[in-house]
Amino acid sequence: MTNQKISRIAAAYVSIAVAIGLAAAGPHHGAFNGVWRQSTYDRLTLHQDKKDHITGVYAFKDGRIEGQVSGRTLTGLWSQSSAGERCDAERLGSHYWGKVKLTASRDGRSFDGKWGYCDAAPTDGWSGTR
């Protein structure tokens, strides 16, 4: 066997090992990091840091999200420049905000969840795909 052929075989084994390692790590590590197509508000861009803190933005009414990830679940707040309900307290620099809870799919290619106004429990649907 030539050195070139051995190198190609070794590269193939390394690629397979990396793919298996990434799959074993699961999608929950960084599950929300990146750009999403949302059900209602077009594009959502999220940044998940090493401590599983989330910050994100979407264009609709200067939308923002901040929260924490545990496993495949993001729990936090959304805010906008205006919304259907004005909250008494200000959060994330706005009186238009609410709670959000999203769960990433096992393959990390979609999420489903709920959002609500102010301190009310999230009840309205929110979904996205990569």
Domains present along the chain, CATH in parentheses: 29-129 (2.40.128)
* pTM for this model (two decimals): 0.75
With vertex at residue 72, the alpha carbon angle to CA 13 and CA 114, rounded to the nearest 5 degrees, is 145
Distance of alpha carbon 50 from alpha carbon 87, whole angstroms? 31
For residue 80, count other CB atoms closer than 10 A to its CB. Answer: 19
Mind listing the pLDDT tens digit of every residue in the chain (130 residues)? Answer: 665 554 444 344 433 333 333 343 444 458 899 999 987 768 999 999 999 999 999 989 999 999 999 999 999 999 999 999 999 999 999 999 999 999 999 999 999 999 999 999 999 999 999 9
Q: Exposed, middle or buried by CB within 10 Å (0-12, 13-18, 19+), for 58?
A: buried
